[in-house]
Structure 1
């Protein structure tokens, strides 16, 4: 009787281990192979690799300005990146664009 009480004490652990092992076996048995996934996604992998190689090439071989035109703001690349991030996040609104057009007069 002692064994049955100990077994009932761990019944949730046993059920969880059984379900986990069934899911693992089903996943290994019914999942597609590595080459099947690779053959389906090879254009995406290739285009991403070429894009990252192009970014790396231009980052290594481009001459970025050493300082910005704004005094005390650090490097020109940092200022340009912050301006781009502000624009993407929404920091620059239509008023900024409107002010740029009114300065043309």
Structure 2
């Protein structure tokens, strides 16, 4: 009787382990193979890889302007560009101002 009492003490853990093992066996048995998933999603994988390669290429080849004249103490022009975009999104700049700044490039 002592063994049965100890077994009943862990009945929830035993049931949980049994259910998890059944789910694992069912998942392995009925899930599609790795090559099936790759063959279905290969266009997505290729387009994502090309997009990341383009980002890496443009990040390595583009020159960011120094922002020391605009904001003293800041590092690169990336922060200035990000602040300009955020100002535009929240309504800090109007379309005319942005249009004028793009047409009057020196």
Q: Taking structure 2 as the reference length, what is the TM-score of the superposition?
A: 0.79
Could you say what the CA RMSD is over the residues aligned between the two structures, in angstroms?
2.4
* Cα deviations by residue, 1:37-84 (Å, 9 ceiling, x for unpaired): 101100000000000001101111111112255232622112112333
Gaps in structure 1 of 5+ consecutive residues: none
Show the counterpart of 1:96.
93
Equivalenced residue count is 98
Q: Is 1:13 aligned to residue 13 of structure 2? A: yes
Are the counterparts in 1 of residues 87 and 93 from structure 2 also a CA contact under 8 Å? no
Show the counterpart of 1:59.
59
Q: 1:70 to 1:56 in 2, by over 3 A?
A: same
Q: Taking structure 1 as the reference length, what is the TM-score of the superposition?
A: 0.79
Supply the distance in 2 between the matched residues of 1:39 and 1:72 (Cα, whole angstroms): 52
Show the counterpart of 1:79.
80
